[in-house]
């Protein structure tokens, strides 16, 4: 009988997200006698060490970096399945060079992140944090000074227009928005038409929107590209929301815009660095709502992230391609195809 397949699970789940992946492993993996799993040491901020994952064919990754040193020498490793959708900490070129596929959980985060965006839009529009402070300090007499905004007729602009942006606009449908704007050089115009979204320039997004939402991935191209030039275009009554990645924004420029009153406020689920130092200017700003990169962390997201990660690895073990691959170029590589073939034969040998 061949050796069981081995799945490595980031030790980060035990500290940063306890109890989120284990129920899914119990449901999908534990009943399979030919698949085992165990935790590996994911370190703390440093790239995962190669010897930590050398024994595994598949890995479920959380928040640690994966670079060339991580996958070097891991001959049996076939797939890294990201618990989530962002993969800015994963060196995809290094994975491809070592015949390792990266899979993400696109469907798992679409609705939870879109709901998080909607939460921030409503909280900012209704000045929820300010109203909460009035009650806690007994200043009900000041409530007229915290009057909010209705969303009817307001312009919402999305920087990036992938699955999350599309779901965001779907959820905003009943609010009778004005214009729905998006900037995404990679979006098919036909898809924009389906979503009833106007494709416009980046400058138009910032100049005309009442709410500017960041929905793009962190790449070399997008790192720091939302900066003072763009904040200067915003209306003083407009709000900025980021639930994507902190480094997409030049945070010093955002702070300066907020301090100068150039924009009305911000809702940030992501910052740079994370955790944010307690003496950071954003902490003291009453027109800023902050969340610890967890506003989308819900029971739905936990279940779907874990399910898709496990299903991705099981698909690879069967010699198949998972639902949401990233580095598709690895499909054409001979050694990766050999891995798939070897795994498929091994899977069949278990009689499943």
Distance CA 12, CA 250 (A): 28
Catalytic member of 82, 245, 311, 346:
245
Is 293 an active-site residue? yes
Distances (CA, A) of 131 to 77, 116, 126, 283: 53, 20, 9, 18
Distance CA 284, CA 286 (A): 6
Is 229 an active-site residue? no
For the sheet with 265-268, list strands across it.
Answer: 198-199, 180-183, 156-159, 211-214, 239-242, 265-268, 288-290
Asked whether 312 and 79 are in contact (CB, 8 A), the reply is yes
Catalytic member of 193, 274, 286, 329:
274
Asked whether 276 and 246 are in contact (CB, 8 A), the reply is no
Is 338 an active-site residue? no
Find where tokens 């279940």 sit.
Answer: 303
Asked whether 39 and 18 are in contact (CB, 8 A), the reply is no
Distance CA 318, CA 328 (A): 18
- Those residues with Cβ within 8 angstroms of residue 12's Cβ, 6 or more apart along the chain or in another chain: 42, 62, 63, 64
349 HSE (CA, 13 A, CB side):
15
Distance CA 214, CA 195 (A): 17
Distance CA 46, CA 239 (A): 35
Catalytic member of 6, 207, 293, 346:
293
Positions marked active-site: 245, 274, 293
């Amino acid at each position: 009988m061949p050796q069981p397949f081995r799945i490595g699970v980031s030790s980060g789940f035990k500290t940063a997200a306890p109890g989120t992946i284990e129920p899914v492993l119990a449901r999908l993996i534990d009943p399979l006698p030919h698949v085992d799993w165990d935790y590996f040491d994911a370190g703390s901020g440093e790239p995962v060490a190669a010897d930590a994952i050398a024994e595994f064919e598949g890995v479920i990754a959380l928040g640690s970096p994966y670079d060339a040193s991580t996958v070097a020498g891991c001959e049996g490793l076939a797939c890294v399945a990201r618990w989530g959708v962002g993969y800015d900490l994963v060196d995809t070129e290094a994975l491809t060079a070592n015949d390792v596929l990266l899979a993400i959980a696109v469907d798992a985060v679409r609705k939870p992140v879109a709901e998080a965006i909607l939460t921030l839009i409503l909280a900012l529009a209704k000045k929820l944090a300010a109203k909460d402070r009035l009650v806690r300090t007994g200043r009900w007499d000041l409530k007229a000074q915290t009057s909010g905004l209705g969303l009817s007729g307001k312009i919402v602009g999305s920087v990036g227009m992938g699955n999350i942006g599309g779901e965001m606009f779907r959820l905003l449908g009943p609010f009778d928005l004005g214009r729905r704007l998006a900037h995404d050089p990679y979006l098919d115009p036909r898809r924009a038409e389906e979503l009833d979204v106007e494709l416009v320039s980046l400058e138009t997004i910032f100049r005309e929107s009442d709410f500017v939402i960041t929905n793009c991935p962190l790449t070399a191209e997008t790192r720091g590209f939302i900066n003072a030039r763009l904040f200067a275009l915003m209306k003083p009554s407009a709000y900025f929301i980021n639930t994507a990645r902190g480094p997409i924004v030049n945070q010093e420029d955002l702070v300066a815009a907020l301090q100068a009153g150039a924009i009305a406020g911000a809702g940030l689920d992501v910052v740079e660095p994370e955790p944010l130092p307690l003496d950071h200017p954003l902490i003291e700003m009453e027109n800023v709502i902050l969340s610890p990169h967890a506003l989308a962390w819900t029971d739905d997201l936990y279940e779907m992230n874990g399910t898709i990660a496990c299903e991705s690895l099981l698909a690879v073990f069967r010699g198949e391609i998972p639902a949401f691959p990233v580095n598709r170029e690895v499909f054409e590589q001979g050694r990766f195809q050999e891995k798939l073939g070897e795994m498929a034969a091994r899977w069949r040998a278990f009689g499943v």
